[in-house]
A and B are shown apart, each in its own frame.
Chain A
Amino acid sequence: MNLFCVGISHHTANVETRERYGCGMDAVCALRRSTDCAEALLFSTCNRVEVYGVSDRILETAEIARCLTAGCSEEAAAFYRYEERDCVQHLFRVACGLDSMVVGETEVLGQAKQAYAAARASGGAGPVLHRLFQRAFRVAKQVRTHTDITRGAVSVGSVAVDLAGKIFGELGERKVLLVGAGEMGERTARALLSRGVRDLRVASRSGDRAGDLASVAGGRAIAFAEWEEQCREVDILISATSAREPLLTQEKLRPLLRERWDRPLFIIDIAVPRDVAPNVNELEGVFLYDMDALQSIAEQSMALRREQVAAAEQIIAAHVADFSRRLVRDRAADSAGAIARDTAISEAPLRAAQP
């Protein structure tokens, strides 16, 4: 029996190449039919297309690549191949987000669970792949629990949302004011809305755009001239205008803060040039983040995640060793008991397959 993984990912191929292999389950069925592959599972995301399989004989990489492109002759140079222990290690690393474009991202785990569920439903995943994927899900959970690999936001929008959470906790009752109706501001506001914000106010020099955005996002438009006064009330201010000079300075903001001495004000200035004078951050209770600061936090989070890679690899290595040992033992035993047990397990409810 040969356990293998053949695929392409963002490491080995550009998006144009990858999208040519964005095939469906038919390819896996074809693979199983044409190669006598005992088990086969297709794992396809925007960053990777991989086939995990178990076969009696060693299948050529080109043979598998052909199945993935429905017979079209494609060069197999971009494909990587992992076998046995390396295959186990690769899947565990993928499930933990170590092989992802954004290290530590968790979406890939959900995608792996979906791929596994689809393979179970089509009969492609048998006892070996069942155990392999179940273990991969366990490893990913352990890595997430015992390391900081998924900690911290790594995009500007999610950094802003994370910071708001660290200042205010629950965001449901927080009031958000968006000044300027540009795309970046809208995206940040939407990220906050997705975290439970219900009170969004939009002020823009172009009243129509403010109205449109407010109605789409479920907020309300206010006159541009009123936005400064709103700083007495709001908790989060997103500033994204195209003004050439700072709109908000210490002198303007200080009197507005007198009535809110015990409530913090979080200002997200994503305008370039900046809308808010940098020394506003020195005011008591004000937390000002501009694009550079947000970008820097995203980089810090990424650095923190990279620092955690070694700890994650240690956990993975222990599981790879254990899993490989069991795999070899079961094969050596080659007993009906082991097969019967595996079959029983494979018929267990799809508990782990739920995203």
Chain B
Amino acid sequence: MDRLLLVVSTCCFLLAVVRSALLLRTGNFRPGRSNFFAIVVGFAFQTAFLWVRGQALGRCPLTNLFEVFIFLAWSVALIYIIVGPAYRLSLMGAFTAPLVLVIQGLALLAPIDTPRPPKMEVNAWLEFHASMSIVAYGAFALAGIAGLMYLLQEGQLKRHQLRSVFHHLPPLTDLYAAMTRLLWVGFGLYTAGLVSGFFTGEPLPKVKMACAIAVWIFYGAILQGRHLFRLAPRHVAVLCVIAFSAAVSVLWGITFVSERVPG
């Protein structure tokens, strides 16, 4: 039953993707309210799914890889809904919807929704640690998307080839500012998630800890590297994309391994 909610949510994101793709193909792209609306509706169904699943489990639904991916997709949509309109990055929706669609679609198609005992003991610190970390990934995802948009816009300006989408992309300096703010937001949330992991009262798996710290160091290095290594905005944009790809791979690896090797 709860998966039906997720299917409806996925359809909403698919609708947003198809609409954007068709408009981009005709060279008449214009970010409109309908895209934002589709994402908001998709987000509402995601929230409903997580609530239903959480009620069934009696805890935050982050018990297997499937739920982690859905929570990640939810976090990406959440951060977009908060950040997108605030920074007038309306076109970001056209980039966010495909990412959410891919994460959610893969989660639905892959056989990763392994059953768990319906009632598990609740550890508030563990739930805080897990949920904070995943929401931080949502911010990192949006930073990566802003990075992609920056690279697209910068490439057009450098090559003197301005396509229809150029007129709808925000200015370079706005994209760079959005990128760095999202990085800071993600880094702050991730730090909170990481630190709270030490208060769970449970033994910390070494590999998991090492990977989490590696991701933290990577993002910290990007933020500080802007000044220490005089990283140009284009390099920051590239690193945002690489860092998110790496972080998602690590997240998948950590969850996949912890499901099979308890502790």
**Interchain CA distance A301-B170 in the complex, whole Å:** 18
User: Could you say which residues of chain B place their CB within 8 Å of the CB of A281?
Assistant: 158
**A167, A293, A304: which contacts B173 (Cβ < 8 A)?**
A167
User: Can you list the 10 inter-chain pairs with the closest CB atoms, starting with the nearest?
Assistant: A169-B171, A261-B230, A284-B232, A293-B160, A151-B167, A169-B174, A167-B172, A287-B157, A169-B173, A168-B173
**A167, A285, A297, A301: which contacts B171 (Cβ < 8 A)?**
A167
Is B197 an interface residue, CB under 8 A from the partner?
Answer: no
**Interchain CA distance A167-B167 in the complex, whole Å:** 12
Is B3 an interface residue, CB under 8 A from the partner?
Answer: no
How many chain A residues touch the partner (CB < 8 A)?
29
Is B233 an interface residue, CB under 8 A from the partner?
Answer: yes
Contact with A along B157-190 (1 / 0, CB 8 A): 1101110101101111110100000000000000
Nearest to A168 among chain B residues (CB) is: B173
- Is the beta-carbon distance between B226 and A262 smaller than 8 angstroms? yes
**Interchain CA distance A299-B174 in the complex, whole Å:** 27
Which residues 4-37 of B sit at the A interface, judged by CB distance below 8 A?
Answer: 27-28, 30
Is A308 an interface residue, CB under 8 A from the partner?
Answer: yes
**Interchain CA distance A154-B152 in the complex, whole Å:** 22
The smallest beta-carbon distance between A151 and chain B, in angstroms, is 5
- Is the beta-carbon distance between B27 and A307 smaller than 8 angstroms? yes
Is B208 an interface residue, CB under 8 A from the partner?
Answer: no
Nearest to A169 among chain B residues (CB) is: B171
Which residues 145-195 of A sit at the B interface, judged by CB distance below 8 A?
Answer: 146-148, 151-152, 163, 165-169
**B169, B170, B174, B231: which contacts A261 (Cβ < 8 A)?**
B231
- Is the beta-carbon distance between B232 and A261 smaller than 8 angstroms? yes
Contact with A along B226-251 (1 / 0, CB 8 A): 10001111100000000000000000
Some 15 contacts from A to B, beta carbons below 8 A apart, are: A148-B28, A148-B30, A152-B162, A166-B153, A166-B171, A169-B170, A261-B232, A262-B176, A285-B233, A285-B234, A296-B160, A297-B162, A304-B27, A307-B27, A311-B28
The smallest beta-carbon distance between A298 and chain B, in angstroms, is 11
Which residues 130-176 of B sit at the A interface, judged by CB distance below 8 A?
Answer: 153, 157-158, 160-162, 164, 166-167, 169-174, 176
**B28, B153, B172, B231: which contacts A147 (Cβ < 8 A)?**
B28
User: Could you say which residues of chain A place their CB within 8 Å of the CB of B158?
Assistant: 281, 287
Residue of B27, B157, B162, B234 with most chain A CB atoms under a 10 A cut-off: B162
With A289-B160, A297-B162, A300-B162 known as contacts, the answer to whether A165 contacts B171 (CB < 8 A) is yes
The smallest beta-carbon distance between B161 and chain A, in angstroms, is 8
- Is the beta-carbon distance between B232 and A262 smaller than 8 angstroms? yes
The smallest beta-carbon distance between A100 and chain B, in angstroms, is 20
**Interchain CA distance A146-B32 in the complex, whole Å:** 10
Which residues 290-331 of A sit at the B interface, judged by CB distance below 8 A?
Answer: 293, 296-297, 300-301, 304, 307-308, 311
Nearest to B153 among chain A residues (CB) is: A166
**Interchain CA distance A40-B160 in the complex, whole Å:** 48
**Interchain CA distance A289-B27 in the complex, whole Å:** 24
Nearest to A171 among chain B residues (CB) is: B171
**Interchain CA distance A78-B230 in the complex, whole Å:** 65
User: Could you say which residues of chain B place their CB within 8 Å of the CB of A262?
Assistant: 176, 226, 230-233
- Is the beta-carbon distance between A168 and B233 smaller than 8 angstroms? no
Nearest to A292 among chain B residues (CB) is: B160
The smallest beta-carbon distance between A304 and chain B, in angstroms, is 6
Is A264 an interface residue, CB under 8 A from the partner?
Answer: yes
Which residues 202-220 of A sit at the B interface, judged by CB distance below 8 A?
Answer: none
**Interchain CA distance A330-B67 in the complex, whole Å:** 63
User: Could you say which residues of chain A place their CB within 8 Å of the CB of B28?
Assistant: 147-148, 308, 311
**Interchain CA distance A48-B231 in the complex, whole Å:** 55
